[in-house]
């Protein structure tokens, strides 16, 4: 069956004016939210997510306590105004529970949970606007919020959505493209090149998978650089504030390697 919309025109441009492999503008705000130990507001195009991290702290119940590592708790909420849907999604909605589980499984091998036995790390994800790539935005925002909270990670987790239009692969899909194309979301670890999540909600021909995976890994490295720049800028802002409060604090505090 043919596409219902013109996803890619004869000149190689998508409906929003981007080329095949062009990513949407990314916006990152790491200013601290009131109650959180670390937070991040991130946008990929018109999709925007707020992630808040609390902990490590004492587990809320004995059933959630793990004796040799921290338990990771993820709660996801979709704001009623974030989408054109009339139906309000509760936090027990199947789609929301699946996304929360995907975020948790992505970060279980990334967070150094062994450093915090018998504790809990709470990750609260609020979807503010939706225009495709919601899961990738949630994962990238969670990486930034965890770093902002000072929680040690083995690596960044960088996620991207990719799809196939006829013989043309596309990166960072909008909602219009997601609704019309087979696609998948991939989360990768830039330091090792390992993939920590692959999720597909539509069928994708096996012959296209390897090509899309390679493109997603390249895009993940691009996002990694953007995220590192945001973390570095935030660190320098904090150090500058410390120098005002405590004169003599050196710039060497931020001369660390953010490749991890």
DSSP secondary structure of 16-32? TS--TTPPPPEEEE-PP
Instruction: Please state, in angstroms and rounded to a whole number, the distance separating the CA atoms of residues 52 and 234.
Output: 16
Query: pLDDT tens, position by position, for the chain (260 residues)?
Result: 444 567 888 888 998 999 999 999 999 999 887 789 999 999 999 999 999 999 999 988 888 889 999 999 999 999 888 776 555 566 668 999 999 999 999 999 999 999 999 999 999 999 999 999 999 999 999 999 999 999 999 999 999 999 998 888 999 999 999 999 999 999 999 999 999 999 987 888 888 899 999 999 999 999 999 999 999 999 998 888 887 766 655 555 555 544 44
Indicate yes or no: pTM above 0.75.
Answer: yes
The pLDDT, as a whole number, for residue 88 is: 58
Whether the CB-CB separation of 48 and 41 falls below 8 Å is answered with yes
- Domain edges within the chain: 20-242
The pLDDT, as a whole number, for residue 221 is: 97
Task: Identify the CATH assignment for 20-242 out of 1.10.287.110, 3.30.230.70, 2.120.10.30, 3.65.10.10.
Answer: 3.30.230.70
């Amino acid at each position: 069956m043919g596409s219902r919309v013109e996803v890619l025109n004869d000149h190689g441009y998508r409906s929003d004016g981007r080329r095949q492999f062009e990513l949407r503008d990314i916006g990152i705000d790491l200013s601290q939210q009131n109650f959180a130990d670390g937070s991040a507001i991130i946008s990929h195009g018109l999709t925007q997510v707020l992630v808040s991290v609390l902990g490590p702290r004492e587990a809320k119940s004995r059933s959630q306590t793990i004796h040799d590592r921290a338990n990771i708790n993820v709660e996801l909420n979709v704001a009623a105004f974030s989408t054109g849907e009339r139906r309000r999604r509760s936090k027990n909605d199947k789609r929301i529970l699946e996304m929360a589980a995907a975020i948790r499984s992505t970060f279980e091998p990334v967070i150094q949970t062994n450093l915090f036995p018998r504790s809990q790390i709470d990750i609260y994800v609020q979807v503010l606007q939706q225009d495709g790539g919601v899961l990738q935005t949630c994962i990238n925002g969670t990486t930034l919020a965890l770093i902002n909270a000072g929680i040690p990670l083995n690596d960044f987790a960088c996620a991207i959505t990719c799809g196939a239009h006829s013989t043309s692969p596309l990166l960072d899909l909008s909602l219009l493209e997601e609704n019309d194309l087979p696609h998948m979301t991939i989360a990768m670890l830039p330091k090792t090149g390992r993939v920590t999540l692959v999720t597909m909600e539509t069928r994708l021909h096996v012959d296209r998978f390897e090509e899309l995976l390679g493109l997603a890994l390249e895009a993940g490295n691009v996002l990694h650089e953007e995220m590192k720049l945001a973390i570095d800028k935030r660190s320098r802002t904090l150090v500058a504030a410390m120098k005002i409060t405590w004169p003599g604090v050196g710039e060497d505090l931020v001369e660390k390697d953010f490749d991890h």
